[in-house]
A and B are shown apart, each in its own frame.
Chain A
Amino acid sequence: MKNYIKYLLAGIFFGIVLIKSEVVSWFRIQEMFRFDSFHMYGIIGLGVVVAMISIQIIKRKNIKDMEGNAITIPPKDPKQVTRYLVGGTLFGFGWALTGACPGPLFSLAGAGYSIMIVPILSALVGTWVYGKIRPSLPH
């Protein structure tokens, strides 16, 4: 269990940032989809830039992880256009309906919005149904 403390701490950090930045706010998501504020775009944009620079440094300096292993990021297959566009669009439907993506769903539940248990359970059902019908879906 000792090896997992670092992931718990990283998760706590993430949960606090999601709340304090108001990324978890249904209103902020509405504002984003209505292009009324730069807030969410600034957060996602700067998040991507900082992560991108970090990944480049890790790759170029061949930095190893804390367990001494080389760090590799498995590439995703861009030839599966259908799954990314159709799956992505379905996710976007859910994102706008609930006003939350998975991280904020969990963070909101922790913040005392117990009603978020409903979309979390539905998301589990959605995941299960995807697994069930996966062989017959185009990817």
Chain B
Amino acid sequence: MELIEFLRQPWPWYVAGPLIGLIVPILLIAGGKLFGVSANLRHACAACVPGDIEFFKYDWKKSGKWNLVFVAGTILGGFIGGWLLSNPDPINISAQTITDLKALGISDFSGMLPSDVFNWENVASTQGIILMIVGGFLVGFGARYAGGCTSGHAISGLADLQLASLLAVIGFFAGGLFITYIIYPFIF
């Protein structure tokens, strides 16, 4: 039981960073696969609603089945990490961020998400639509337009010294900063 108690603590960045980095060689050695999560959204479209769209006409089983299995594992890992190994204490967020978010009206800092914003009652409000529906849409649209997300570009691509991935990551941060500093005050 002591091991479980040990694992329940939050893992510091210098432990988690290398563990995430190791996924890249694990997948390369497992079967020459390149770590990237968002491609699964394309595989799911190709499998379920390909329409008559060129972008979804490919053998998704051949190129994507391994990755869909990987993401099923990620969901399962979330269950293990979030239930069996969950940390009972609130996350140790910087005091400055808490002050700024309180000024935006956020009051619940107990979970992984602010429950006063991310809840089913709020989905259909203007705020909920912008954060969850528009936000999700842009995650999917932007990731495919850019050819990858945080895992594919910021981890795999940068690690392989791809200039294209550096451009994409610059875009990720430019977009994120714009929303955080310019748009957030209007939607909270």
**Residues of A participating in the B interface, judged by any CB pair closer than 8 Å:** 3-4, 6-34, 36-40, 42-52, 54-55, 57-58, 63, 65-67, 69-78, 80-81, 83-103, 105-115, 118-132, 134-135, 137
Contact = CB atoms under 8 A, between A and B. Distances in A.
A86 B113 contact: no
Contacts of B37: 101-103, 106
Most B-side CB within 10 Å, residue of A10, A11, A105? A11
Label chain B's interface by main secondary structure: helix
Contacts of B161: 52
B145 A43 contact: no
Contacts of A75: 160, 162
B7 A20 contact: yes
B71 A94 contact: no
13 contacts: A20-B87, A37-B94, A54-B22, A55-B159, A81-B167, A88-B146, A91-B175, A118-B136, A122-B134, A126-B136, A127-B144, A132-B53, A134-B54
A30 B97 contact: yes
Interface of B: 7, 10-11, 13-35, 37-38, 40-42, 44-45, 49, 51, 53-56, 65-67, 69-83, 85-87, 91, 93-94, 96-97, 100-101, 109, 111-114, 118-120, 123, 130-147, 149-151, 153-165, 167-181, 183-184
Contacts of A95: 139, 150, 172, 175-176
A125 B140 contact: yes
Contacts of A100: 139
B21 A90 contact: no
Contact of B41 (A21, A34, A90, A127): A127
B16 A17 contact: yes
A92 B83 CA distance: 29
